[in-house]
Amino acid sequence: MKHSMNHLVPAMLAVGMHMSPGPKQMPKPGRPISYSAAKPLILYSDTSGKSSEHANHRAVLFTGRRIHIVMVAVKPGAPDQTFEVHKFVDPQIDTPAGSRVTLTLLNMDYGPGMVHGIVIGAAKPPYKTVVPLPVTAQFAEIPLTMPRTSQSPGKSAYFVATRTFVAPRRPGLYYYFCQMPGHAKAGMYGRWVVTP
């Protein structure tokens, strides 16, 4: 038994390395990054996953066991209190059950109080000003992240936060939303679907 396990480990590592997608360079946690350092993250966010659109339903599907998703909070030009993924505003995000998800939040918003984070869990809309967060009903949280530092996007520094978590093993409908008081209520949320 032990012998066969030893054989499995290098194979699993090789698969993991081979299948690990994501932006080539990730910023160091806690430090703001320049616009030029943010650009590859924006490009990755705009292009990763497989998008689908019909009527006013927009979804971005991610497949595989290891997934990297970059969500932008309020891209310049996007409506207030929104997330952008794959050039969609607040799209549905689909990830397979049990997949290992690395989620990066890039806050591109500007102004006092334009602090944003992400909670993924069972709490469903309509939301109150403060969304109660029972630990048992959420499966991931990205802490509140500061807005950009300058009115000019090109001259700004940007704050980024990344967390890795395992999607629930049970397929189902969840939601992602911003935990800053008032933001989810104002529409800063979307569906997060755990697919079989």
Contact 59, 52 (CB under 8 A): yes
- Residue 180 interacts with Cu ion (CB under 5 A): yes or no: yes
Cβ closer to Cu ion: 127 or 139? 127
Do residues 24 and 37 make contact, with C-beta atoms less than 8 angstroms apart? no
Query: Shortest Cβ distance from residue 186 to Cu ion (Å)?
Result: 8
72 near Cu ion, rule: CB under 5 A = no
H/E element, 120: strand 116-121
Q: What three-state secondary structure class fits 118? A: strand
Nearer to Cu ion by Cβ, of 94 and 109: the residue is: 109
Does 148 bind Cu ion (CB under 5 A)? Our answer is: no
The set of residues, in sequence order, having a beta carbon less than 8 Å from that of 45 and lying 6+ positions away, is 69, 70, 71, 72, 84, 85, 86, 106
Please, what is the minimum distance in Å from the beta carbon of residue 71 to Cu ion?
11
* Smallest distance from Cu ion to CB 113, Å: 9
Spatial contact of 180 and 129, defined as CB atoms under 8 Å apart: no
- Pick the binder of Cu ion from 58, 66, 183, 185 (CB under 5 A): 183
Q: State the Cα–Cα distance between residues 100 and 136, nearest whole angstrom.
A: 19
Site string for Cu ion, 90-129 (x = CB under 5 A): --------------------------x-------------
Residues making contact with Cu ion (CB under 5 A): 116, 178, 180, 183, 188
